[in-house]
A = this chain, B = another copy of it.
Amino acid sequence: MFETIENKKISQMVIEQIQGMIMRGELKNGDKLPPERELTQTLNIGRPALREALKALEVIGVIESRHGQGNFVVNNTENSVFKPLSLSFKLSNGNIEEILELRRLIEDYTVKQAAILADKKDTVILQEIHNAMVNADTTEQKSQYDKQFHYEIARISKNILINSLLESTSYLFDSFINKTVRMSFFGEDSIDKIYEEHLRIIEAIEKHDAKEAARRMHIHMNNIDVYLLNEQ
């Protein structure tokens, strides 16, 4: 039993070491780790502790073990089965209003930046996503294109950090809102309003009018909030 506790501590130290090497840029995306035998010697630890650390790093999406090739540094943290932010938030009794607040904050930023940075190609893509959403057959598909619309604006804004934050927030949002309610938002009554709002946002981005883009996004977010909080 004591050995297990020891092992846990050692494996955490190994995790911290690898994390530190990534943060200092000594390990980069795609890098291969030294063979496990060499690592146990360098770190002066046993095989079980190393395995435990690598396994944990693999589950979180920082390391990938490729059969017969060894262990590689990867960036799969977004697809990770762990959503620590979401879990922590849920466990501290966070509520949906807090998520909506954060989303407003992010969307306000991304739409302003998009209005400043967007080129012709960017607005064409936004328009195409909008068209695909209008022509989609199911509310499920429409919901997917809606997400893509907002992610695309974030992509145009060119801040990787805020991009991945929008994705986390979106995941958090989905896990808090009842799916039926979420889908009903893309139903007949409210969908025309969404289309209209998206078009106004595209127009403002096209004109590089950051203030108007933010104003339009604000109206859009308000409508989403009012709808969802009433239906919940």
Chain A residues with a Cβ under 8 A of chain B: 1, 5, 8, 11-12, 15-16, 19, 22-23, 25, 28-29, 52, 55-56, 58-62, 67, 73-75, 77-78, 80-94, 98-99, 101-102, 105-106, 109, 159-162, 164-165, 168, 172, 175
**Are A19 and B109 neighbours in the complex by a CB distance under 8 Å?**
no
**5 A-B pairs with least C-beta separation:** A77-B88, A75-B91, A56-B59, A98-B161, A77-B84
Partner of A160, one of B59, B94, B109, B168: B94
Looking at the assembled complex, report how far the CB atom of A50 sits from the nearest CB atom of chain B, in whole angstroms.
Answer: 13
Copies of this chain per assembly: 2
Name which residue of chain B comes closest to A161, CB basis.
B98
B residues near A25, Cβ cutoff 8 Å: 90
> Do A102 and B159 touch (CB < 8 A)?
yes
Return 12 A-B CB contacts under 8 Å, by A number: A1-B67, A19-B81, A19-B83, A19-B87, A28-B91, A60-B84, A61-B84, A77-B91, A98-B161, A98-B162, A101-B161, A105-B109
- Picked from B90, B159, B168, the residue with its CB within 8 Å of the CB of A98 is B159
Inter-chain contacts of A172 with B (CB < 8 A): 161
A179 smallest CB distance to B (angstroms)? 12
A202 CB to nearest B CB, Å: 23
Across the interface, A82 reaches (CB within 8 A) one of B5, B55, B60, B159, namely B60
Residues of B contacting A84 in the complex (Cβ-Cβ under 8 angstroms): 60-62, 77, 80, 82, 84
A105 to B104, CA, bound (A): 11
In the bound complex, what is the Cα–Cα distance between A67 and B2 (angstroms)? 9
Q: Are B12 and A59 in contact (CB under 8 A)?
A: yes
Question: Which among B52, B86, B88, B101 is the interface contact of A55 at CB below 8 angstroms?
Answer: B52
Given A23-B90, A25-B90, also A161-B77 (CB < 8 A): no
